[in-house]
Amino acid sequence: MTNLAFQNALARKPQKTPPIWFMRQAGRYHSHYQALSKEHGFTKLCRTPDLAAEVAMGPMEDFDFDVSIMFSDILFVLDALGMGLEYTSSGPKLDWSLSTETLSKLDHSPDIAERLSFQGQALQKTRARLPDNKSLIGFNGGLWSLFTYAVEGTHKGALINAKKSMDLFHPFMDVLMPVLIQNTREQLAAGAEIVMLFDTAAGELSPSLYQSLVLPYVEKLASHFPKKIGLYTKGTTPAHYRHPLFEGDLLAGLGVDHRWAASDMRALDTGFTQGNFDQSLLFLPREEFLTHLNLYLERMHKNGVPRGWVSGLGHGILPKTPTENVRLFIKTVREYTHG
């Protein structure tokens, strides 16, 4: 019950046609999701395993992606830690922000991971509905992104308050890491082949700060689940990945954004290499879109595709993305690589 192309990518086996999945492929751009969201609302969709599975299946049935992704959100772990969480028309809102004064309010209860059990159940429901030749992955929030949300209520901008509060990062990790470890264990047991860490805010840290502050905890998490943790970062550079963690077999693979060149992706030496077409280009008219996509594919293939390549976008698919271009992307990548 897995996708052979995805397993080959995990093992870095050469293959002509890469597996394809998009971050947020079951999201707001898709009419299937829009209808379900209108009826139930985002929170109910995430917290109700049958509904989460139904959302995840929408793009699989419509576009024939190779990999399905758990439908959920990275911020539910902050809610489980006692920070509260509400999804509003202007974005997610926490009840309070992490600070020196509020650090003690974080919940240390031993059953915190059980508050996230709906995620494992959603994975089970999704796996039961997926064809045997499709893969399934889970995810958690990236460590720096979760910290910036806890401090600032967002992962966007210069993140000045988060950087001014870096002395809280380690005590925050002391509380967060046991929950992520248990949640990862439950996601894998529920049918996820790997669990991604989506760290959208990572690029706001310098390479040296990212390596010294964040990567020791990524390494700790990965050491519990060798070859089962994938890491995606946005806005990072190759310098962020010049660290022993990315030289061995501990991580399942790495995802990069559209700022990375194909040559930089080829230099990565850890598991799969996921990405990295610019998601904004999906808004272009058909012929212009195809011109950019074919140029991208030519560059990816010029000196041999990156080993373990998983074809996708530089970040999550955007709201209002034309679905005809999603379909065209998948068709074009498969036809191009079949030769």
Tokens of residue 91, six digits: 């974005």
Q: Which DSSP category does 20 fall into?
A: B
Q: How far apart are CA 319 and CA 34, in angstroms?
A: 10
pLDDT beyond 90 at 304? no
DSSP assignment string, 185-241: HHHHHTT-S-EEEEETTGGGS-HHHIIIIIHHHHHHHHHHSTTTEEEEESS--GGGG
Q: What backbone phi and psi angles, to 5 degrees, belong to 126?
A: -65, -45
d(CA 38, CA 34): 6
CATH topology of domain 4-338: TIM Barrel (3.20.20)
The whole-model pTM stands at 0.96
Residue 339, pLDDT score: 60
Hey, what long-range contacts does 30-37 have (CB within 8 A, 24 or more apart)?
30/58, 30/59, 30/62, 30/323, 31/323, 32/58, 32/59, 32/62, 33/58
Helix (H, G, I), strand (E, B) or coil at 243: coil
Percent of the chain with pLDDT over 90: 91
CA 208/CA 44 separation, integer angstroms: 40
Mean per-residue pLDDT, 250-272: 94
Mean pLDDT of the chain: 96
* Model pLDDT for residues 164-179, shown as the tens digit of each residue: 999 999 999 999 999 9
Q: How is the chain split into domains, by residue range?
A: 4-338
